[in-house]
Structure 1
Amino acid sequence: MRTTTIALVTGANKGLGRETARRLAESGWEVFLAARDSARGTKAVTELAAQGLRVHPLALDVTSQDSVDAAAATVRAIAGRLDVLINNAAIAGPSMDPARTRAEDLREIFETNVFGPIRVLNAFLPLLRASGQPRVVMVSSGMGSIATLTDPRWKDLVRPTLGYPTTKAALNMLTTVYAAALPDIRVNAVDPGYTATDLNGHSGFQSVSEGTAAIVELAGIGPDGPTGGFFDRNGAVPW
């Protein structure tokens, strides 16, 4: 008998997270749509229900340990395990001249983009280990690629800031370390590409469907699939 795949997507009330939740639910997966704002999360769930898709709303603020622990307890009570964790929740943070950026200016973005995925993975690790085929997808960015940002072709196209690129580079390293430390779990990072979302004021040239292609693909890999890699929708990308 075929077992339904159970997935959780953080930051899923809009943008890439919502589209990922929609696509996975459309594939017949049981999906927990996690959102910091419960009202917005419920609204997204209602909108998906109008499309004939059933997903579970889940209150989850990645910056709050109590919220993360409560969310893990809810998933345990409803599903008993977790097959796929998609750490998508992130903020853009301040866009400031690096020379004028203080450590305090970066505290919120690190709490969300770096410490958030650590909190969530730690809390859900027992549920992932209850799965026969656990996977973790870290939604990173090409902005976190040192190879990309030092490429001369990007020199005048990317405004230098400390927050977002630094946190995504840290997330890439977390991916590498978790993949080595958790050989029983497939752990990969994804660069969605420059996608039109609220994060960039909808200036991206990709649709959310294109932006979620690699997320969905890595969420669905088998036990012999890659781990510790960094991918976009065209394949492996440089760190």
Structure 2
Amino acid sequence: MTSHQPPLWRRAVAEMLGTALLVCIVVGSGIAAQQLSPNDVGLQLLQNSTATVLGLTVLILMFGPVSGAHFNPVVSLADWLLGRRSRTGLTLAELGTYVVAQMVGGIGGSVLANAMFEVGTSISAKDRATAGTLLGEVVATAGLVLLIFSLAATRRGILAAPAVGAYIGAAYWFTSSTSFANPAVTVGRIFSDTFAGIAPSSVPGFVLAQLVGAAVGVGLLVLLFPAASRMADDVVVPHPSQKDGS
């Protein structure tokens, strides 16, 4: 059977670049906001969230046709898990490759943002982990997973770019954690001691909360959309689904 699936190395490059640019947008706009509005944290968050909404939407449109534009280990993990019964979605080897690419991209994006603004790359001292922010990460991640996979299950994946961008933008404000909802972004933000940074000590709690949130999202998805597992190849956006063995 002829396949149009891009080879794994190309998809990995797309995931690395997409995640790097996403973190670069988050960190870079955070630095810019801090410089432009040094005395107004609310305005800083508005500037940071607006840039993230617009940037994430563009990145999904740009890289989605190549890799599906996951840019997020919990999305890739859910994709692998949901696809096991129907033999769709990522294989275990592809999952590992995606996650490594996303993590490398996340760190690289933070370093790039620091360099553009001539801010030294240093480990963040910004502690974020509290009971409230960890609950916020559970909520943010569960909603993100449910949104992405419900769109695929109902064949509306073409709407993922604006929908995911809108959700993350809203979650900046309605969650106490400002919605990291992504282990790769969380790890990347360690390397910028700026508005968008997070202290290493807060990261394990955030990642655990994100994994719990992903499990909640998958559970709700299976309850509400039983056929979701058959559409794992259309996550985050529809892309070629035939495996080519590359």
Structure having greater relative contact order (Cα 8 Å, sep ≥ 6): 2
Q: Normalising by the residue count of structure 1, what TM-score does the alignment of the two structures yield?
A: 0.33
Larger strand proportion of the pair? 1
Q: Normalising by the residue count of structure 2, what TM-score does the alignment of the two structures yield?
A: 0.32
Larger helix proportion of the pair? 2
